[in-house]
């Protein structure tokens, strides 16, 4: 994270039928850019306050710092570049996953070694390969995003509004017609639902959400 960046408050939704909100976003702002990226998420059924992600060979962990008005403020810290030392895996990665670290037989682990030897063998842990196509907008100075993503090959959409100032996010939510009954779902929670690591809410059992 750049030292100047202040953690932002975030509101995010996932679904298959977000057309109404997408249309409102497109009316309120011009699309600024589209980026494609692949991320690997390490997930456990517990640890709701940690988001462990690898992108371009670098691991970072976001920690849930604060919740205000139902908006979540996540603070990222850089773990390091692969190969990761066993020391970092033992003292940072596994504590963040919230499960006991197994015996580490290597001094350093590539991402593949970490996944194959330490993650997929543990029934409490899972890996999600997420391809994202992210379209960015700005509404009332809030970063706003519509993204098409695949989670281990399965497709879903997500929309996000974020800002350092939570009041601004609330205003944009209001402009987009998203009321307080709509659940704020962060990335790890959405991935855990798709992967069956946490209880699936009734609404996710119907494709038209």
Partner 1 sequence: MGKKKLTIGEASKPRFEYRTFGRDFENAAFLMSRLSVPVPRKVWERFSQEIYIVSRTNDVNNTKIRDGKMDIKTFVQEVDGLEQWNPLMKGEFPMKVDVLKNEVFPAFKVEMPEFEKDEYTLEEFLEIVKNHPDLQAVSVEKQRFGYMVNDTICEVANVWINGAAVVTVNSESTEIEDIKKTIKDLELEGVENINYLQAIKRVIGMIDKKLAN
Residues that bind partner 1 (CB under 8 A): 14, 16, 43, 115-116, 120, 123-124, 126-129, 150-156, 193-196, 199-200, 204-207, 209
Tokens at residue 61, please? 């962990």
Contact 139, 173 (CB under 8 A): no
Structure tokens at 12: 């995010």
Token duo for residue 116: 């194959």
Least distance from partner 1 to the Cβ atom of residue 155, Å:
4
> Nearer Cβ to partner 1, position 89 or 127?
127
Q: Which is nearer to partner 1, 8 or 53 (CB)?
A: 53
Q: How far is the CB of 11 from partner 1 (least distance, A)?
A: 19
Shortest approach of partner 1 to residue 138 CB, angstroms? 28
Q: Which residues of 141-150 are buried (b: 16+ CB within 10 A; e: fewer)?
A: ebbbbbbebe
CB of 100 to partner 1, least distance (A): 15
Q: Of 124 and 165, which has the nearer Cβ to partner 1?
A: 124
Q: Rounded to an integer, what distance in angstroms lies between the CA atom of residue 195 and that of residue 171?
A: 33
Alpha helices in the chain (DSSP H): 19-28, 86-88, 94-97, 111-113, 166-175, 187-194
Between 14 and 187, CB nearer to partner 1: 14
Closest distance of CB 198 from partner 1, Å: 10
For strand 9-15 and strand 154-163, is the pairing parallel, antiparallel, or unpaired? antiparallel
Tell me whether residue 76 or residue 98 sits nearer to partner 1 (CB atom): 98
């Amino acid at each position: 994270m750049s030292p100047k960046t202040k953690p932002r408050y975030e509101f995010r939704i996932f679904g298959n039928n977000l057309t109404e909100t997408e249309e409102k976003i497109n009316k309120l702002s011009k699309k600024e850019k589209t980026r494609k990226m692949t991320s690997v998420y390490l997930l456990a059924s517990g640890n709701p306050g940690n988001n462990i992600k690898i992108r371009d060979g670098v691991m970072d962990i976001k920690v849930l710092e604060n919740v205000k008005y139902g908006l979540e403020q996540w603070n990222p810290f850089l773990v390091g570049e692969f190969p990761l030392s066993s020391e970092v895996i033992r003292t940072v990665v596994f504590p963040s996953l919230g499960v006991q670290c197994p015996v580490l037989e290597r001094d350093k682990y590539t991402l593949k070694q970490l996944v194959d030897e330490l993650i997929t063998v543990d029934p409490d842990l899972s890996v999600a390969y997420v391809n994202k196509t992210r379209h960015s907008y700005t509404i009332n100075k809030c970063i706003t995003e519509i993204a098409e993503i695949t989670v281990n090959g399965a497709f879903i959409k997500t929309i996000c509004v974020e800002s350092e100032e939570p009041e601004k996010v609330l205003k944009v939510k209001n402009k987009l017609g998203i009321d307080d009954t709509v659940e704020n779902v962060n990335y790890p929670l959405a991935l855990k639902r798709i992967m069956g690591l946490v209880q699936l809410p009734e609404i996710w059992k119907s494709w038209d959400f």
